[in-house]
Every structure is written in C-alpha cells, then in structure tokens.
Structure 1
Amino acid sequence: TIERVGGGGGAVTKIWNNPDTVYSKGWEFRIGWGIAQYDTTLAFTHIDIEDQYGNPVSVLRRKAASMGDRLVWDNRWQIRPNVAAGWTWTWVSNLEDAVSGEAGARAGYTVLDLQAAWRPAQYPDLRCAVMLRNVLDHRYSEHTSIAGDNGTLLEPGRELRFMVMYRF
C-alpha cells in the first residue's frame, strides 16, 4: 500500500510504500433476464479483505474496506419508447469479522430504490430522471463508511434526486 506523510490541510512531505500488505479475495455471480419491455438482473457479491497475517479487515482508511455479502435485484420496465421506470432492492449482510480497534462489526441492511426516466420525443438529446433512494427510510451505515465518534456514519435516509441532462 502507498501512504503519505503530512496532509490533512497541510503540505504532503513524503510519499512512501508501506510494507504492510492487504489482500482482497472474492467473487460475483450475476444473472439477467429480459422479455419484451422488462429486464431484471440478480447479482450476489462476496469479498473478503485481510491483512498480511490473514486477519479480517473492516475499514483501513484510504486502503480497503469490507463490504459484506451483497445481493442486488435490479428491475427495469420500458413503459413507452421514451419512458422507463424501475426499482432496485439491495440486501447487505452483517459484517461481523472485523479487527478489534477498527470500525468493528456493522449491522446488515436492506434498501429499496425507485427510479424513472423520460426522454421528450421533440428533444431527443434531453433526458430527465427522478430517483427515490431508500424508499422505506431505513437507518443504516454503509460498511465502507469511515467511523465517526459513534462508530459509523449514517446514510442520509430517504433521498429524492432529480436529474436533467442535455447532450450536444
């Protein structure tokens, strides 16, 4: 891993190769299916992060972070040629095997997101979208968040996002 000396608002005085090693091992399984205007994808990801001694790592600032097992089910329906809608369901397992003194164990969570997109026929380069993240307003912390005073930083909760894009 590469580290720096200094920074944090001041000047970086040195960059060097840290002798510690971090190993990331994992796999992902993904399957997709579609019929007519409907597409769905199901993906499962498993990744382990370990230090050079084989100890599990939860979060190492700017180096690595365990994510926990993750199952994502993504769905998209093309309602009309210029209108699409969909939803994404994400389940993340508990993160229990963490090195003491780090962020520690973290609770799993489930999040549901809804999205819709529209392309006006008269303006083919214009795209509008809306997304409602965390529909059920579940309180959770991403396993990759850096610990705050209370152990983790909470995600913002339910979010409504708008996007307008024009390509030229």
Structure 2
Amino acid sequence: MRLTAITAAAVLVAGTAFADSVAPDSVTYDEYGAVEASLTGAPGDAAKGRDLMINRGKGNCIACHEVTALEDAPFHGEVGPALNGVGGYRTEAELRGIVANPKMTFEGTVMPAFYKTSGFTRPGDGYTGKAAQGEIEPILSAQEIEDVVAFLMTLQDS
C-alpha cells in the first residue's frame, strides 16, 4: 500500500510539473528572440543539461558546437559557434530563446528548433521517408530546455 501511495504522489507531482509547462506554441519571444519566463517555473538542472548536450538521441549540441567543458565527449562540430563562455555573454533569457527556437534570433540559422511543434514545411517521421502522422512532439521537453540553459549558464570562461 505504501509503494502505491508513493507512486501515486510521484505521478501527481510529475503531472503538475507538466501541466505548468508553457506549450511550444505558447512561448512568448521578445523582439530579439529571448524568452524571459521559464518554460516550467522550475530551475534547470545543469548536470542533466550537460547530459543532453552530448546525448546523440536528444540535444546533441556538440554535433555542431565545440564546448571545451565537454572535451570528454568525442566529435565536436564546427558548424555552429563554439559555446565556450556563452553563459558570460548571453543572458538566460537569450539562451532559452535560442535553444527553444533559434530562428527567432538568427533568421537564417540551420540550428533546429528544439521546442517547436508547428509551422514546419513537410516534417518527416524520423528517418522513414514518410510524412509525420498526428501531432509532432518537440525534440526537447520544456524542462529539458531549462536543463540545457542551466548548463550553458555554467560556461562562464571563454
């Protein structure tokens, strides 16, 4: 019985956190693409953000960006700018906006929008070659965006 109560409480807490998240189509960007308000109302976890930065199935930020603090992870890219020191010259709001949808800040960027579910031109269903069916999920959840931003804010030295 005790295990059931603990499980029920965990589900309730997780459901509440999800319910309080800003939906991808409801994110408010300022004129420069920054997102002032947290997408979840909860602080990000920098350690989880670090893991997302190197996770080839999720964020995979190092596929395009070099990050010296992540030198233990192989194959850093050179397509995007190096992120060394980015937490020292970008605000949390700017980083949140760039990770959520970089096209709001940099119109012609090839960086994908990690928190977007609509407005695509012919989205595909993974690597199947078929059109997506039903609703499209964002690449990262609202909390994962906050986690990546928390990690990026730790990158203070260039």
TM-score, structure 1 normalization: 0.19
Q: Which has the higher Rg, Structure 1 or Structure 2?
A: 1
Greater relative CO (CA pairs within 8 A, separation 6+) = 2
TM-score, structure 2 normalization: 0.20
